Amino acid sequence: MSDPKIGIYGLGTMGAALALNMADKGIAIAASNRTASVIPEFMERAGDLAENITAVDDLKALIDALPKPRNLLAMIPSTGPMDAFLDDVIPMLEAGDTVIDAGNADFHSTRARAARLAEHDLHFVGLGVSGGEEGARHGPSMMMGGTDHSWSELKPVLEKIAAKFDGAPCVDHLGPDGAGHFVKTVHNGIEYADMQVIAETYDILRNGLGMDLPAVADQFDAWNDGPLGSYLMEITAKVLRYDDPETGKPAVDVIRDSAGQKGTGRWTVIEAVKLGQSATMIEAAVAGRAWSAEKPLRELAAKAFGEDRGALDLDVTTIEAALRVARVLEYAQGFRILKAASDEYDWNLDPARIAEIWRAGCIIRAKMLDDISAAFRDGAPEGQLLLASAFRDTIQDGIPALRQVVGTAVAAGLPVPALASALAWYDTMRQSRGTANVVQAQRDFFGRHGFERLDAEGAHHGPWWD
């Protein structure tokens, strides 16, 4: 066996799948895991691929197995465990080595870790990996942040294992230190919004229109064959068709309606707000998960106020048009955050390239991403997808449908927080004169905060202070 090109530490769901993907592509690797007892089972799973894998029992042996300069990829939780891992690993490495954090990390931590490793002449890469276990095993989309040196070291490996769109690998070097993890975070924010919109649509179809589950699944399948085609649409149709083996009921009917969240959606919202942005659809999705987790309170409120909802009178063509425009708006919000961060941190992020590497392998892969990359390549005014001429017709044609869907659902008492917030954002952004003049007047009245005037430069106070 040739020298391992890279070491993988952490053979959980994602680490094992990435390791097998590399071995499958003929890349010699070394692999280890904190709990060594899982390693034999992993090697058994590897089967014939084991010939490309040097499995070792601990971190020290893993590092010793790697040629210099070393490339060591950790697929472990990027929160506390990553810092403890770095405490252990830094003394074992030598100048020029690279540590790759391939988990979902808060990009502030990635920047701090990169600075910490740089003090030891070590490189730190924040590698966003998307695609879940299946993607990691057969081709993920990857967003790399780090030094040019690390990219030149890793590019051959990452391009081999990445998902391919029309033969082009869905991976790129997006910027320094935290840039890759930031883009992955926003990817997940968009993922949250897309999942929420699909869940709201499921509610509209099943409970608002009274469709049975197989019909709802068929509808998602039909949409998936058209312009709304996406991985999340496809898997929604699939999960709706499963029955629970224990009860024989539809699987979705035995799953508790309380969603988990590990942090990336929340980070997207927090970073957007810090950057002076607001991604209302992602906020609505994070709120939707938080509200869902408050099941006992919802049960009390249901008893107190009743759960009645009216039936909806909507046709599926209108719902499809509403979904299309909602998806454009959720991407527009996500890309705005990327632009704001790129300006703030001087990353020079290329939105067209990001859309390209999201076209395959990742959870938000969608047919629309090809059009989005083309729209950015054509030059969206102010770098805003909302203003891209390629989406003008979709937006103008879709908004009346979105208005009808949101209005009908709201009137019937069916909650559609993400769809409604998409509309509110669109309507706010197309007002050249909004209502913040009143907010400014209030602020000045109670706190002498001052305001700008339309007809004069400088700061002013209202007549209430005369």
Ligand X SMILES: O=C(CO)[C@H](O)[C@H](O)COP(=O)(O)O
Residue ranges of the annotated binding site for substrate are 104, 130-132, 187-188, 192, 262, 289, 443, 449
User: From the list 98, 104, 110, 201, which residue makes contact with ligand X (rule: CB under 6 A)?
Assistant: 104
Which one of the listed residues 5, 153, 184, 330 is annotated catalytic? 184
Determine how β-strand 123-130 pairs with β-strand 98-101.
Answer: parallel
Contacts of ligand X in 241-270 (CB under 6 A)? 260-262, 264-265
Which range touches ligand NDP (CB under 6 A), out of 81-89, 92-100, 308-316, 321-329? 81-89
User: From the list 7, 72, 85, 395, which residue makes contact with ligand NDP (rule: CB under 6 A)?
Assistant: 85
Q: Is residue 15 involved in binding ligand NDP (CB under 6 A)?
A: yes
Q: Which residues contact 286 (CB under 8 A, 6 or more apart)?
A: 192, 261, 265, 266, 269
CB atoms within 10 A of CB 374: 14
Q: Is residue 75 involved in binding ligand NDP (CB under 6 A)?
A: yes
* Shortest distance (Å) from residue 279 CB to ligand X: 16
Both tokens assigned to 22:
């590399």
Q: Which is nearer to ligand NDP, 354 or 380 (CB)?
A: 354
User: From the list 21, 32, 78, 130, which residue makes contact with ligand X (rule: CB under 6 A)?
Assistant: 130
Specify the 3-state DSSP secondary structure of 128.
strand
Per the annotation, the verdict on 25 as an active-site residue is no
Asked whether 7 and 100 are in contact (CB, 8 A), the reply is: no
Show the DSSP H helices in 94-206 as ranges.
Answer: 107-118, 132-138, 148-161, 179-203
Q: Which is nearer to ligand X, 101 or 191 (CB)?
A: 191
Which one of the listed residues 60, 68, 159, 191 is annotated catalytic? 191
Q: Which is nearer to ligand X, 69 or 132 (CB)?
A: 132
**DSSP label at residue 3:** P
* Shortest distance (Å) from residue 196 CB to ligand NDP: 18
* Shortest distance (Å) from residue 261 CB to ligand X: 4
Q: Is residue 421 involved in binding ligand NDP (CB under 6 A)?
A: no
Q: Which is nearer to ligand X, 46 or 286 (CB)?
A: 286
Q: Which does 191 bind (CB under 5 to 8 A by kind): ligand NDP, ligand X, none?
A: ligand X
* Helical (H) or strand (E) element with 129: strand 123-130
* Shortest distance (Å) from residue 255 CB to ligand X: 14
Asked whether 72 and 100 are in contact (CB, 8 A), the reply is: yes
Per the annotation, the verdict on 200 as an active-site residue is no
Both tokens assigned to 439:
């907010």
Contacts of ligand X in 141-200 (CB under 6 A)? 188, 191
Q: Is residue 21 involved in binding ligand X (CB under 6 A)?
A: no
Compute the distance between CA of residue 132 and CA of residue 137 in angstroms, rounded to an integer. Answer: 9
* DSSP-derived secondary structure for 59-94: HHHHHHTSPSSPEEEE-S-SSHHHHHHHHHHGGG--
Which range touches ligand NDP (CB under 6 A), out of 31-39, 198-206, 208-216, 219-227? 31-39
Q: Which residues contact 271 (CB under 8 A, 6 or more apart)?
A: 107, 182, 185, 337, 341
Q: Is residue 11 involved in binding ligand NDP (CB under 6 A)?
A: yes
Contacts of ligand X in 360-379 (CB under 6 A)? 363
Q: At 401, which amino acid appears?
A: A
201-234 exposure pattern, b = at least 16 Cβ within 10 A, e = fewer: bbbbbbebbebebeebbebbbebbeeebebbbbe
* Shortest distance (Å) from residue 376 CB to ligand X: 22
Asked whether 221 and 241 are in contact (CB, 8 A), the reply is: no
Q: Which residues bind ligand NDP (CB under 6 A)?
A: 10-15, 33-35, 38, 75-78, 81, 84-85, 103-104, 129-130, 132
Active-site amino acid positions: 184, 191
**Site residues (CB under 6 A) for ligand X?**
104, 130, 132, 188, 191, 260-262, 264-265, 363
